[in-house]
Amino acid sequence: MCLKSVPRKHALTAAPSRRGMDEPDAAPQRNGSAAGARMHGLFTDADTGRLTVALTLSDSCLTVRRIDCASPPEHLDLRDCLGSRAHRGEAQGAQLCVYFYPYRRRWMVSAPVRQRDERRFRLGTEESDEDASLREAQRWARAINTARRPEHTHGVLFSEVHRPCGVMVLVNPQSGRGQAMALYNSHVQRMLTEADIPHTLFITERQNHARDLVRSADLTQWDALLILSGDGLLFEVVNGLMERQDWEKAIQTPLGILPGGSGNALAASVHHYTRASPVWGEDLLTSCGFLLCKGLVSNLDLVSIRLSSGARVFSFLSLAWGFVADVDIESEQFRQIGALRFMLGTLLRLASLRVYQGKLAFLPAESKSGPDSASSPPADSRLPDHLLAPLEQPVPRDWTLVEEREFVLVLAMFQSHLSEDLLAAPDARADDGLIHLFYVTAGISRAALLRLFRAMQSGTHLDCGCAHLVYRRARALRLEPLSAAGVMTVDGECVEHGPVQAQVHRGVARLISA
């Protein structure tokens, strides 16, 4: 295991303690106050040292007005503020640094994206008391960090993550095109530092390394677990937490996801839940990093999946059989081209389209079934699956049976995105308690299937009027492949091929989201 400790403060910063950063702001002192403002004061531009700037802090914005020119004041929205820090200036006085990530339009990008905007202001002169200037700059930083705390989000109440300990950052350096460490060094470390989030970096060295790590870790030392990788590493973490003796408490540890792999489906889903325009690549990383540093958590559904061997895994993203699973696994050989591997894999699989025999049944979401609907649910002390009967028994009477037929694909989605650029279930939410079930029957043409996946890029595939595509909302399902050949995946990871059933458990985990 590779371990790298990252100090809570940047080397150039002489910021106050964590306790000081969280203390309520005192009444304005030296710089005075403006009407309706929390604080008001005069600074000079840190870059030129000449322009005098008047800063006014309210509960919602930081207003910057240059008093030696007639330009209108600039209002910086504190909802876009990641954090603020104070440190001694290189020449004299102290510097106040404020980090914003507002939405802005960029050349060659159709929708606005979050872009970094660092503002630096200098307090004090050669004749000033440097210690006094630093204390005043720190007071401003505390006030900004207090004022920027969000009070509400889009219709969902979240609690705020407290950070007395630190964050465990797990990175798979082999994920995607092998760029995860470069993304950490160029983006993630800087954003965590700007938000004053202490963290320790763990670099995974083998498959299931993260699973073993979180299964035995002392979670009281960590406020959250942050995954910088594809969805596979989070799959390891979730199942490692559920394998602990204290799984009920462990699974409540907030989980954060930053896109560092090929698919990045959960990261794209987290961004989608903000109702912002779709973004990709490093813009998606910036968006998810901003949401992470805001420290808001929501509930996250977990889906219990029982395999034919009796093994049980927990999923947060998807269960796939047929075309989607084929593309996911067969495109692994093209990992070095990143997300383009899925496009190439899709074209290759379309060229030799497969059809699979199978049986499918599901419990409709509107069913009022309770704990007694299954005659004898499988025994397990972790999240009992009270809606499931043993695989060797028929499904309960209130389930819907899909007559035995040939399938091109069966896809159960638990989040909105199947990959970074495929919006499979536009109405899904992280804690909606639903399985969004899609299946495509045999007889669909290659051209029609390709049109469906192209429409899925914008989430409009259900509007295509394709008779072979069926969508249902469910709470549980059973899938019984009858073909000997085939691939089945859970969260993009290959699992044993055979009969499988699943039940959603609403909101049992916690996800840093918005």
Residues carrying an active site annotation: 231
Residue by residue, what is the 3-state secondary structure of 246-264?
CHHHHCCCCEEEEECCCCC
- Which residues are CB-contacts of 111 (< 8 A; sequence separation ≥ 6)? 105, 276, 277, 278, 279
Residue 119 has which token pair? 């503002």
- Which residues are CB-contacts of 192 (< 8 A; sequence separation ≥ 6)? 6, 167, 169, 199, 293
Burial of 395 by CB count in 10 Å (0-12 exposed, 13-18 middle, 19+ buried)?
buried
b/e for 264-280, b at 16 or more Cβ within 10 A? Answer: bbbbbbbbbbeebebbb
Q: Let me know: does 234 contact 227? Beta carbons within 8 Å.
A: yes
Burial of 30 by CB count in 10 Å (0-12 exposed, 13-18 middle, 19+ buried)?
exposed
CA angle 140, 141, 147 (to 5 degrees): 90
Residues paired with residue 77 on neighbouring β-strands, in sequence order? 61
d(CA 344, CA 341): 5
d(CA 165, CA 444): 54
Mind giving me the DSSP string for 415-442? SSEEETTEES-TT--TTS--EEEEEEET
d(CA 488, CA 248): 28
Burial of 246 by CB count in 10 Å (0-12 exposed, 13-18 middle, 19+ buried)?
exposed
> 3-state DSSP call for residue 456?
helix
d(CA 382, CA 292): 28
CA distances from 52 to 41, 57, 136 (A): 10, 16, 17
Residue 297 has which token pair? 């958590």
